[in-house]
Amino acid sequence: MVRVVICGASGRMGQTLGRMVKESPDLELAGGIDLRPGSFFGAEIVAAQDIEALLKSKKPDVLIDFTVAHAAVENVKAAAKNNVAVIVGTTGFTPEQREVMAAAIEGHVPAVISSNFSVGVNIFWQLVREAGKLLGDYDIEVIEAHHRNKKDAPSGTAKTILQILDDEIGSRRKLYGREGMMERGNEIGVHVIRGGDIVGDHTVMFSKNFETIELSHRAYDRSVFASGALRAARWVTGKKPGIYGMNDVLGLQKT
């Protein structure tokens, strides 16, 4: 039985994770952390400042974080200090924040950090990598869409797409949106859409004269991310300290 604590327990992802943990016979919901105390699915939610007290009293195996960057850094530090493995699906970290998390994790606890925990997205990344190897001389555009409340843009998933393309075709200038009179060059166009309750759409378009190839992934429900995060939580338990990716969990090529 893997004991799980969820950060951002009162949010949409936190509620989805809590419900799915509660429904899983091999997982136990040990508690939650949010801005304000409360409860969910029969477990206690404590205020963020009380995270260490919760970790010491409940002794969870894994902490899952889908919050915001500054909060996630503190949650990861607290988990590592208390020998709790970490799953981080939060995006929007600065390089400095990533360094702080890495310093807390390395040599202390195992962690799976990914900009997207959907199994489908991780396979989608592999397809983008293969396409990049074969279509490097095509014009490339990246389009992503999320709900109106998502703050970081482009999404972490889109940034991973751009990194994969840079790895395979070499670094190109990124042009974020277009306006006015301009000729298309050798840039990669990046387009961000925010509206309504869109869960997450990502498309990579490879275009040349007379043909276009599109690779797309569309998420219809947050449960796809939660399911992947719980798969990672089961996998990470007992692993050696260090930072892993979802590719390690799924046995895929490193993205």
Give the number of other Cβ atoms within 10 Å of residue 69's Cβ: 17
Q: Cα-flanking dihedrals φ and ψ of residue 190, to 5°?
A: -125, 125
How far is the CA of 124 from the CAs of 24, 138, 164, 216, 247, in angstroms?
Answer: 27, 19, 11, 8, 12
Q: Are 6 and 14 in contact (CB under 8 A)?
A: yes
Give me the active site residues, please: 146, 150
Q: Are 188 and 128 in contact (CB under 8 A)?
A: no
